[in-house]
């Protein structure tokens, strides 16, 4: 997690942890739709969380090598999506 990016996009640390967890579980550079929905709900048209996700992942990829996604990662990703959707509805 990059504190400079958190300050740049003015997002909460909890949302930054969520973005990191989604990336580590899902393993995709493309920001998931449910993260965009949460971003639009919390940050409006600026889409700060979606932008943070994309830029943070690009920096992460430069610093680390990617591993393969396994079945457990896909299951956890699905569970995480449901948790985020529940958070959106409350």
Sign of CA dihedral 1, 35, 30, 22: positive
Closest CA to 18 of 90, 31, 41, 7: 31
Q: For 73-80, what is the mean pLDDT? A: 68
**Closest Cα to residue 8, out of 52, 60, 39?**
52
Better-scored residue on pLDDT, 72 or 45: 45
Which range, 23-27, 43-47, 69-73, has the best average confidence (pLDDT)?
43-47
Taking every pair of Cα atoms in the chain, the longest distance, rounded to a whole number of angstroms, is 37
Q: What is the mean pLDDT of residues 50-54?
A: 85
The whole-number pLDDT of residue 66 equals 46
What is the pLDDT, as a whole number, of residue 72? 54
Query: What backbone phi and psi angles, to 5 degrees, belong to 64?
Result: -135, 160
Q: Say whether pTM exceeds 0.95.
A: no
Cβ neighbours, 10 Å, residue 53? 28
- Write down the pLDDT at residue 74: 61
């Amino acid at each position: 997690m990059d504190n400079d990016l958190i300050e740049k996009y003015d997002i909460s640390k909890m949302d930054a942890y969520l973005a990191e967890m989604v990336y580590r579980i899902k393993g995709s550079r493309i920001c998931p739709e449910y993260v965009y929905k949460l971003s639009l709900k919390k940050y409006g048209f600026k889409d700060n969380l979606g932008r943070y996700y994309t830029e943070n992942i690009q920096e992460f990829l430069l610093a680390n090598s990617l591993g393969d996604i396994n079945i457990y990662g896909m299951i956890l990703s699905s569970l995480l999506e449901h948790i985020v959707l529940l958070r959106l509805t409350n």
